[in-house]
């Protein structure tokens, strides 16, 4: 496995090595010792999957606030997506900046997103499946989000705003500035 730091401290791109032959490939996708060495002392307590039937489906930008903030290890097990992490750590020198990477079943990459980041994605192919390992349990009381297409974030989404497939919840999330004024933990 290769671990690559991104432009924002703490967000790590993980690239499993695939060993292939005529049958396909084998890849080690998680090793606790290597993960802790490169990403820190985190343990996962819950694992989730999502299926997005249509290309252009946007999920997020979601996060949980303290004391139930979650780190996420995200991988794509079918299809492809643009995965995005936005730094929302108060006082961070990269507050409001983002990292965006393509995760796909074909490339096998994973993205480690520590607590203190909003997470979102846009599917690039139909029937895209995403797997999330998280460091704390889901808590409705601590769940928050940011509007996916907030111009202040400058995320280069691969879909026009009017064509994105969104949940009702994601359509009404606040922008970063509104959230910052009223929702900082």
* Spatial contact of 104 and 55, defined as CB atoms under 8 Å apart: no
The conformation of residue 173, written as its DSSP 8-state character, comes to P
Active-site option among 132, 137, 138, 142: 132
Active-site option among 19, 25, 42, 62: 62
Token output for 98: 């983002």
Please enumerate in sequence order all residues whose Cβ is within 8 A of that of 151, keeping only pairs 6 or more positions apart, or say none.
175
Side-chain-side CA neighbours of residue 58 (13 Å): 26
Q: Is 19 considered catalytic here?
A: no
Q: Is 132 considered catalytic here?
A: yes
Q: What is the DSSP string of 4-46?
A: EE-SSTT-EEEEPPEEEETTEEEE----HHHHHHHH-S----E
End-to-end CA distance of the chain: 35
Please enumerate in sequence order all residues whose Cβ is within 8 A of that of 141, keeping only pairs 6 or more positions apart, or say none.
68
Question: Where in the sequence numbering do the catalytic residues fall?
Answer: 62, 132
């Amino acid at each position: 496995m290769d671990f690559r730091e991104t432009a924002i401290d703490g967000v790590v791109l993980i690239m499993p090595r695939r060993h292939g032959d005529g049958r396909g490939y084998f890849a080690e996708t998680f090793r606790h010792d290597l993960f802790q060495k490169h990403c820190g002392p985190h343990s996962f307590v819950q694992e989730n999957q999502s299926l997005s039937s249509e290309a252009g489906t946007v999920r997020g930008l979601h996060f949980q606030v303290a004391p139930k903030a979650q780190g996420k290890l995200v991988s794509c097990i079918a299809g492809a997506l643009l995965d995005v992490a936005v730094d929302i750590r108060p006082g961070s020198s990269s507050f409001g900046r983002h990292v965006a990477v393509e995760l796909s079943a074909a490339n096998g990459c994973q993205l480690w997103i520590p607590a203190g980041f909003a997470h979102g994605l846009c599917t690039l192919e139909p029937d895209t499946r995403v797997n999330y390992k998280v460091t704390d349990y889901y808590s409705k009381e601590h769940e928050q989000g940011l509007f996916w297409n907030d111009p202040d974030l400058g995320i280069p989404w691969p879909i026009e705003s009017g064509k994105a497939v969104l949940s009702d919840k994601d359509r009404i999330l606040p922008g970063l500035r509104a959230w910052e004024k009223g929702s900082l933990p």
